[in-house]
Each structure stands twice: as structure tokens, then as C-alpha cells.
Structure 1
Amino acid sequence: MQPDPSRGRPDHNIAMWGAPGSGKTTLLAALYTALTRSDDGWKIVGSDPASSDYLIERTNDLLRGKVFPEASMALERYHWTLIGPPPRRTGFWGRKSRQAEPPRIGIGMIDAPGGLFGTGQRTAGGPSGPDPSEDPRRQELLDNLEQSRGIVFLFDPIREFTFGDAFDHMYPPLNRLAERMLATGGFTDGKLPHHVAVCVTKFDDPRVLETAEARGLLTTDDDDPYRLPRVAGDDARELFHELSQVSATGSADMVLKTLEQFFHPDRIRFFATSSIGFYVDRRTRCFDWDDFQNMVPGEADEDSRIRGQLHPINVVEPMLWLGQRLAATRPAKGVS
């Protein structure tokens, strides 16, 4: 009997999106650690050999090498699958029945160096040169977004403070995506059909943590033995708003406004995320406000190192939230 190829396909697809250096690669590398420590039965595997190799190498960089993944030097196309625990079917009289297929969530990432997907200018041949929007690599990004119904959008407040370019990397692809879906009937109620998890990254950075503390947004998880600070629920949206006020260009507030203009507000959720988490002394095994930085800065960004163990914060949660929301909705026609 020939194997059924559909059995290995994800039930839903999630696309990763954000400016260069916003932390997409680091978040994915930390996802393995976060899933393993969550002990809830979910795992991440590569959907092809190149993606598996990439995940293994980047995870080893974080766990063993204590270094962050290097910036992209070429176009990257990778796909992974989140596989959950198989739900058990119960028959008559409470008897256990055959296990159902475990849920699968596909994760796709297309990234490139130099901000290829941001606001582009026509350079070859001057104003009459090639339109950058026709670059086939940009089309791959749009294909990935169009075929997904879940998006992980990463917002790096530290990069925004320095460069102020989050809006530049969001609006052009978003407008092109809306153009496509309007033409194919996917914009029927005036909104795009996607669910969006907005990850405010680098929560471990003192500037981000102190902003959350000053606004009274911090809490702790009763089940967390380390008592690491977190920002829960709707407070993450407020943190995003506060951090967007220090944008280098003053355009970060347009990110939130544009997201809510193009997507259903009840399909957007914010998360305060850290891929490496806070430093925890192995003896005290508890968060210490006087000694919590887990990143040791270098003279250049690529020289930065990770100080201690990884304690990812809100790395798994955006993926599983998207998976749950997508599972509760009927997939769009033609979308796997």
C-alpha cells in the first residue's frame, strides 16, 4: 500500500514576518528548548532535510555555543512542523478507542539580508529601472503569507529605537497581500482572514523590562519555579503601545493602526517575548532584579553572547494560540 502523502501535511500554516534582525531565527531556535521544557507533548521537526539541518545548527548555537544565529547572507526558505500530542477517542462505556491523528501546524519562514522585503527604491536604471515589487523573492514572501492563515509578526523595540523601520518592513508586503486577496475574493468583509500573533521581542532587555515595570504591567506565573516576570493578556498590547512611542522615526504607532485596519482586532493578540529569557543563578534558582541580564553585549551585535541557561518566555504560546484559533475556524478553500 502506498503511503498517503496527506497524512504528513500540516492542518494549518503559520508564516513568520518581521524586519531583519527582529529575532525570527533566534525565536525558532529557542522554540525547541521551550517546547521540551513545557512538557505538554508538542515537538518541532523539520519538514525537509535543509530545514532540519538549520534547526539543529541554530539550536546548538544557542544551547552549546551560547551565541546568537548569524544574520542572513542569502535568501532563506525553511519550513517546520509543530506536532502536538494525539487526542484520544473514547468509545462507548468510556472504553479507550483508537488514537486520532496528532494536530500538525506548519511554520514557514522566508528571510533575506538587507531588508529585501522592506520599502524598496528603484536603483537599477534609475526611476525607470526594475520595480522591486516584482522581485521573485518578494513574491515568495507574499505566497507564504497568502497561503497561511496565521502570522507571527515580530516587533523589535530595540531596533525600532535605533532605526525606526518596523512600519517600512510591514506596510509594503501587507498592501501587496491585500491587493492579491482582493483580486481572489479573500477580502470579502473588508479585512484579511488571518490571525496575527504580535511578538514584542527582547523582553529580557532592561529597557523593555523597566518600561513594563514602570507601567505596572508585570506579573509572574504561579507554576514557574524561577518566578520570572511576564506580561500577561491584554497588557502586552499596552506594552507595545508604550514602546512604540520611542521609535527613531516616530512611525511605530502606524504599525498598530495598520494591523487593526487590515485584520480583525479580535484576531490579533500581543505577546511580550524573549527567546533567551532572564539569567537565573544555578544556586538560588530564582529571578534576581539585581542580576537578571542573560545577554553579554559585545563590541558589535554579532559578538554578543548568552550568559546562562535559556529560559524562553512566550515563545511557545504564540504558536499554540494561532494553532488553536485556526483549528476553530474552517480553512479557506484551497488553503492547506
Structure 2
Amino acid sequence: MTADPAPARPGHNIAMWGAPGSGKTTLLAALFIALTRRNDDWKIVGSDPASSDYLIEKTSALSLGKIFPEASTALERYHWTLIGPAEPPDARWSRRPRPATPPRIGISMIDAPGGLFSAGRRRPGSTPDGQADLRRRELLDNLVDSRGVVFLFDPIREFEVGDAFDHLHAPLTRLAERMLGSDDFRDGKLPHHIAVCVTKFDDPRVLETAEKRRLLSANPDDPYGFPRVSSEDARELFRELCEVSASGNADMVLNALDKFFHRDRIKFFVTSSIGFYVDPRTKSFDWHDYQNLLPEDEGEDLRIRGQVHPINVVEPMLWLGERLTAGEPRAEPSR
């Protein structure tokens, strides 16, 4: 009996990057839900049993349990494959054209509780932590091997804690150090494409900031009428939200991204993993009743109130996939 063949490795990889608790796990669970709600063939598949189990568990917690996936308690290494629709073969070149291969983009997440590049830094003179150094190396290897990055910026965490820059500058400095001698760094910019996701758009503090700055727009194809912030305005909202950083360092996040990456390879997205509340009777957005995250009874825990309708969760992944595969040679037609 022969073993099952190993799945083909994607030709491109997207890495997840952000402070602990910034929502990487929730965004991945929301991605499965958002893709399932779309009327196309894009899908996310676990690249190994552990990654599939992880995706099933976290998605079920979000959609059925109405709770957020639990934070990491140990080092996690997971890999998924984003599979798109195959282009129809060109029948002009052959009576029996070979089926087209759909695009495949790898998504990887290597995460650890509490972070490794900030709170986990070793103080001068302290005993080296071999396990922590190994984990940092794995995180850095993942960034070096990827050419697409989803960077999550949590404006509520930044308002309360203010550590976004702390979790950016150390790995960014190490990444530049590792790639200094590479041909990809000759022009002084790193080769990655960066999708900056401003999360928690459903929070009133974020939504009202966008409204006051007149950055909201509507999608005429959205049956629920959810407000949105276009990618053209998302950078301005990011800048506005940085003004209320608890540490006052959030503005350096934007400056660091612009210094180390090509400006035309950075795109901002305003996202929400759970979306806004939709009344089952009206099935539309209501400015007077839109919060989808409410306290559970009289306790402190938060629960999701209604159905999960992710906003702008798929778009960063598809933009990265499009940029990473742009210019690739097409398969030769059958003769």
C-alpha cells in the first residue's frame, strides 16, 4: 500500500505579523467564513492535519460558539494554502486542453504567547534562553522566506497599551540585517509586499473616527449596507488612529514601513473579523444598533451578538496573491 502523495508546496508565501493579541488567529478564522460567503472558488485549506484542526476549531468558536478563539499558550506553527479559481483552458490550441492549475498561495503563522521580539527580549548580562532564541529565528526565517506580509495593527490595543512599534522595529531590523547582502535588498528597500490591516473597524471608537474624518463609503453591491473605508482612505485613518497611541510611538510604525519597503508595495485595509450586527428582521446596517460585540450578561467577558460578517478580510489576501503572482510566465499551450 503506497502512502498518499505530499501536497504540492505553494510557490509563494504570506506571513502573518503583529503584536500578541492583535487578532491574527481571529482573522484566519474569519477568513474561512468570509471565503465561504463569497460566490467564487477561492478557498483556504490546511496544508497539514494540525493546521486543518486549528482552522476547524477556531472557525467553529467564532461562528458557532460566538466567542473569540483563545490566545496562544505555546509556540504555534501552522500553514494553510489559499486556492483560487482555475482559468479556463484555451481550446484553440488543442482538442483536449489540459486543465489549468489554480493559483496557490501559502499562508503561514508562527506565533508565541507574549511575543518574542519585545517583552521576551533578553536583558544584557542575563542567561541566554536557547529556546526563545530558536523561536525568534523561526519567526525571522518565516519573514525572510515570505514575499507577502499581513501586518495587523490593533488601534484599541494601541490606545490602551501602545506597543505596535515595539513589536515592529526589532523583527524589522533583524529582517533587514538578514537580507542586507541579498540581491533583493540592493536598492535599499526590502522586497516584500505589505498588507497593513487596521483591525476592529466594528468598534465604535474606530468607526466614529472614520465618520468624523469623512472617510466612510458604501459598497453598492453589499446587501447589508455596511459602511467601509476604501484602501485609498485607509492610510489616512491609520494615521489618525496613531494619534491616540498610549506610548506616542505609533507614528513611527508608518515611518518605518515607508523607509524599509517600497511605497507602491504597501496597501492599507480597514478590517473587522466579526463585522457589524445585523437585525434578522431588517437584514441591514443600523447606525442606532450596530455593535456586534457585547458583554456576556453582567460579566466582563465579551461575546459576539449576532452572525459573523467579516469586513475586508479576504481583500488583503487576494491583493497579496495578485501582486505575488503578477508577471509569472503562463503555461505553454498544448501542441
With the length of structure 2 as denominator, give the TM-score of the two structures.
Answer: 0.92
- What corresponds to 1:12 in structure 2? 12
Q: Give, in angstroms, the shift of residue 86 of structure 1.
A: 1.1
How do residues 185-224 of structure 1 correspond to structure 2 at under 5 angstroms? 185-224=183-222
Identity level (%): 70
- What corresponds to 1:264 in structure 2? 262
1:248-278 CA-to-partner distances (Å, cap 9, x unmatched) read: 0000000000001000000000000000000
In 2, distance between residues paired with 1:206 and 1:95? 58
How do residues 292-331 of structure 1 correspond to structure 2 at under 5 angstroms? 292-297=290-295, 303-329=301-327
CA RMSD, aligned part only? 2.3
Does residue 64 of the first structure (1) align with residue 67 of the second (2)?
no
- What corresponds to 1:334 in structure 2? none
Q: Give, in angstroms, the shift of residue 105 of structure 1.
A: 0.5
Where 2:152 maps in the other structure, the secondary structure is strand
How do residues 170-189 of structure 1 correspond to structure 2 at under 5 angstroms? 170-189=168-187
Q: Give, in angstroms, the shift of residue 186 of structure 1.
A: 3.0
In 2, distance between residues paired with 1:323 and 1:228? 25
Q: Give, in angstroms, the shift of residue 93 of structure 1.
A: 8.2
Where 1:8 maps in the other structure, the secondary structure is coil
In 2, distance between residues paired with 1:31 and 1:72? 18
- What corresponds to 1:46 in structure 2? 46
Compare 134-143 and 238-247 and name the one that shifted more.
134-143
Q: Give, in angstroms, the shift of residue 128 of structure 1.
A: 4.6
> What one-letter code is carried by the residue in structure 2 that aligns with 1:55?
L
How do residues 47-126 of structure 1 correspond to structure 2 at under 5 angstroms? 47-92=47-92, 97-118=97-118, 120-123=120-123
In 2, distance between residues paired with 1:98 and 1:25? 38
> What one-letter code is carried by the residue in structure 1 that aligns with 2:292?
N
Q: Give, in angstroms, the shift of residue 41 of structure 1.
A: 0.7
| Cα distance change of structure 1 residues 206 and 33 upon mapping to structure 2, 3 Å threshold | same
> What one-letter code is carried by the residue in structure 2 that aligns with 1:105?
I
1:282-301 CA-to-partner distances (Å, cap 9, x unmatched) read: 10001000000001135887
| Cα distance change of structure 1 residues 78 and 300 upon mapping to structure 2, 3 Å threshold | farther
In 2, distance between residues paired with 1:80 and 1:129? 36
Q: Give, in angstroms, the shift of residue 89 of structure 1.
A: 1.5
- What corresponds to 1:273 in structure 2? 271
| Cα distance change of structure 1 residues 96 and 42 upon mapping to structure 2, 3 Å threshold | farther
CA contact (8 A) 1:119 1:172 kept: no
In 2, distance between residues paired with 1:283 and 1:128? 61
Structure 1 unaligned segments of length 5 or more: list them. Answer: 332-336
Q: Give, in angstroms, the shift of residue 150 of structure 1.
A: 0.1
Where 1:219 maps in the other structure, the secondary structure is strand
In 1, distance between residues paired with 2:4 and 2:112? 35
CA contact (8 A) 2:42 2:84 kept: yes
How do residues 127-166 of structure 1 correspond to structure 2 at under 5 angstroms? 127-130=125-128, 135-166=133-164
In 1, distance between residues paired with 2:215 and 2:95? 46
> What one-letter code is carried by the residue in structure 2 that aligns with 1:310?
V
In 2, distance between residues paired with 1:233 and 1:206? 20
In 1, distance between residues paired with 2:201 and 2:135? 31
> What one-letter code is carried by the residue in structure 2 that aligns with 1:284?
T
1:101-126 CA-to-partner distances (Å, cap 9, x unmatched) read: 11101000011111223254435xx6
CA contact (8 A) 1:51 1:80 kept: yes
CA contact (8 A) 2:114 2:120 kept: no
1:80-109 CA-to-partner distances (Å, cap 9, x unmatched) read: 000111111212289783321111010000
Q: How many residues align?
A: 327
Compare 111-120 and 27-36 and name the one that shifted more.
111-120
CA contact (8 A) 1:191 1:263 kept: yes
Counterpart pick for 2:285 among 284, 287, 296: 287
Q: Give, in angstroms, the shift of residue 330 of structure 1.
A: 5.8
Compare 258-267 and 128-137 and name the one that shifted more.
128-137
> What one-letter code is carried by the residue in structure 1 that aligns with 2:168?
M
- What corresponds to 2:226 in structure 1? 228
CA contact (8 A) 2:195 2:320 kept: yes
> What one-letter code is carried by the residue in structure 2 that aligns with 1:182?
L
In 2, distance between residues paired with 1:59 and 1:91? 40
In 2, distance between residues paired with 1:85 and 1:121? 43
| Cα distance change of structure 1 residues 256 and 25 upon mapping to structure 2, 3 Å threshold | same
Q: Give, in angstroms, the shift of residue 42 of structure 1.
A: 0.5
| Cα distance change of structure 1 residues 71 and 3 upon mapping to structure 2, 3 Å threshold | closer
Where 1:20 maps in the other structure, the secondary structure is coil
Where 1:274 maps in the other structure, the secondary structure is coil
Counterpart pick for 1:250 among 248, 267, 271: 248
